[in-house]
Each structure stands twice: as structure tokens, then as C-alpha cells.
Amino acid sequence: MPARPEQNASVRPLPWRRMIWVTWRQHRFALTGVAVLLGGLAVYVWLVGRQLHHAYALASACHPAGSPVCSVLASSFQSMDVQLSNGFVWQPLPALIGAFIGAPLLARELETGTFRYAWTQGFGRRRWTLAKLVLLATTVTAAAAAFSVLLSWYYQPYFTAGNQGRFLTALSPLASGLFDLRGVVFAAWTLAAFAIGALAGVLIRRVVPAIVATLVAYAGLALAAATFLRQHYLTALVTKNVDVPGTALVLSQWWTKGSQFAFGRAPITLLQRICPPPPPKAGPGNFSKSDFVGQCLSRHGYTQLTSYQPASRFWSFQLIEGSWLLALSLLLIGVTIWLVHRRTA
């Protein structure tokens, strides 16, 4: 039986666009799920946000602030959607998107053995992986970016300057739950979750354990970023001014005496000695206990210092966090592709 004639030993690689259909067809279930989820949430946010913005417009336009009429409007604004106001309810979204799109990408191929089909087709193992990773990463990042624009619009009333003066809620845009919903960071975290998921998938080779590992790793990273890293992106400002703006992110406060560190919080024994509580009927107006202690300690030569990050640094922080997340994602994706190249059956 005659063998087939020799063919050209060097072949040109197949065009990348073929992978668009391949990726869509294989992952349409997960992608549609994410689209439905985000779409549903978007509708919810838009409906609730319209109410919020309406209430805020009424409350902020009311003059004079503090009058009974305006107080009613203010409190109705304050009480809206309290559970959303700290932003923590949105935190799992990037993790879920990344874990459920990124982890099964390679884990399912390895678990079910279909990689023995996919990686022996003419397209080539590395190019196949790269195409899928890039296409899916771009898709989830774009979807997350769009959703975070909506979230930014929703939370915008809380960040307007002058809220404190009108007795309206003022939140810091740098606060943990809120910072990573807006700007570029939400999309960057989604991308990072996807990259973690893809790497977990190729290392663990089983879908469910890879998803779990992705969620755990993401949670650890997000926690570390929120509690340790974010505060130190730029050197914190220190001020003696007690009136730190409400939109700033306060890091810590402490007392000094004669430019030496005295204590973080005033010890009870000291307070009892030099600042005994006043009689109940002394002093006019709204005198909070901390104001009284503060004035008393100042009279004794103590100065309170506050370190904080001002709200004006929001975009700098966004770019810093976005950059290292992007770099991390690219690194993880690169390692994933390298492992696919090296991985044996």
C-alpha cells in the first residue's frame, strides 16, 4: 500500500480567530451564567441606586441643614440600603467569577482526559492555552469593569464633599469594602482571581478542588491587601489637626508629649488622675466624652497625632493596586502556560 507523499515539514500556525468559536462553544455555559448573574445584579443595583440618588438629591438640596425638615430627609437617606453601604456584599463577586471561569478551564480538560484530544489537534498546545486564557481573561475583566462603573455610580452620593457638614453619611473612598469596587481595581481583582483559578486548575487537575483552592487563595490575598498592603502604598500623612475629613482613611491615632510618643489611647489610670469626669450639668451643648478627654489632655501638654490617607489619593492608590494585580495576573498566566507546555500526560 503506497505511503502518502511527503508534505512540507514546516507548517504555518493556524489563525488565532479560530479559537474564538472554540472558546465560546466550550465555555458558553459558564459565560452565560456569569452574564446572567451580573445582568441580574446590574438591574438590581440600577433600581436601588435610582432611589438612593433621588433621596440624596432631596436631602442635599435641603436648606438649612439641621432643621427638622432637612433632618427627616437626611435620615431617610441614611437609612437606605444600609446593608449595601459598606460594600462587603460585593466582595465575593470577583472571586466567584474568577473561580468558576478560570479554575475549570484547564482542570476539566485534565480531569476528564479531553486534553488528550485538545492538545493533539493541529492548533498546538501552547497556542490553544494562550488563546483561551487571553479570550476569557479579557471577557471577564471587561464584564467586571462594566459592572464596577455601575457600582461607582451607585456609591457616588457617599463620597461627595461636604456630606459631613450636612449630617449625611460620608464614607472614605479608600475604605476597605468600597475601594475595590470602583475605578480599575474591581476589574483587576477579577482578572487576578481568574489567573489564580487557571493556575490552580493546571496544578490541581480536578475541578472542584481547584475552585476551592482558588477561593481560598483569593480570600487570603484580598484580606492581606485590605488590611496590610493598601495602607502603605504611599507614606501616610500625619497631622495634629483633630478635624480629619470624614472621607479620609484614618490609619491610627496616638498621643505625644514633648515630641515623644506617649501612648496610643490614654490609660485609665492617667485619666482618673488628671481628667476626672466633670459633673453632669457642667458645660453647654453637645460635648462628647472624647472631646472632653481630648481637651483635658491638650491642657496637660499632650498632642494627638493622626495618620491618615486623604481621599485625594484615591486614583493613585487605584493605579498602584491595579498595577501590581495586573503584574501578578500576567505572571500567573505565564506560569500557567509554561506548566501546560511542560506538563506530561
CA distance 259 to 208: 57
Binding piece for another protein, criterion CB under 8 A, among 59-67, 122-130, 242-250, 255-263: 122-130
Neighbours of 21 (CB within 10 A): 9
The residue count for binding another protein (CB under 8 A) is 37
Q: Which is nearer to another protein, 28 or 54 (CB)?
A: 28
Q: Which of 64, 113, 276, 285 binds another protein (CB under 8 A)?
A: 113
CA distance 59 to 62: 5
Nearest distance from residue 146's CB to another protein, in Å?
A: 28
Q: Which is nearer to another protein, 15 or 258 (CB)?
A: 15
Q: Which of 118, 149, 250, 270 binds another protein (CB under 8 A)?
A: 118
Binding piece for another protein, criterion CB under 8 A, among 25-33, 177-185, 214-222, 260-268: 25-33
Q: Nearest 10 degrees: CA dihedral of 90, 91, 95, 96?
A: -30
Q: Does 32 bind another protein (CB under 8 A)?
A: no
Q: Does 216 bind another protein (CB under 8 A)?
A: no
**Rg for the chain, CA atoms, rounded:** 27
CA distance 270 to 109: 67
Give the three cell numbers for residue 240: 495634629
Q: Which of 51, 76, 79, 112 binds another protein (CB under 8 A)?
A: 112
Classified as helix, coil or strand, 116 is: helix
Residue 167: left (phi > 0), alpha (psi -120 to 50), or beta?
A: left
Q: Which of 119, 167, 292, 324 binds another protein (CB under 8 A)?
A: 119
- Exposed/middle/buried for residue 151 (C-beta within 10 Å: 0-12, 13-18, 19+): buried
Nearest distance from residue 205's CB to another protein, in Å?
A: 14
Could you tell me which residues are beta bridge partners of residue 228?
none
Q: Does 116 bind another protein (CB under 8 A)?
A: yes
Q: Does 4 bind another protein (CB under 8 A)?
A: yes
The residues of the shown chain that bind another protein, judged by CB under 8 A, are: 1-4, 6-11, 13-14, 18-19, 21-22, 25-26, 29, 112-125, 128, 342, 344-345
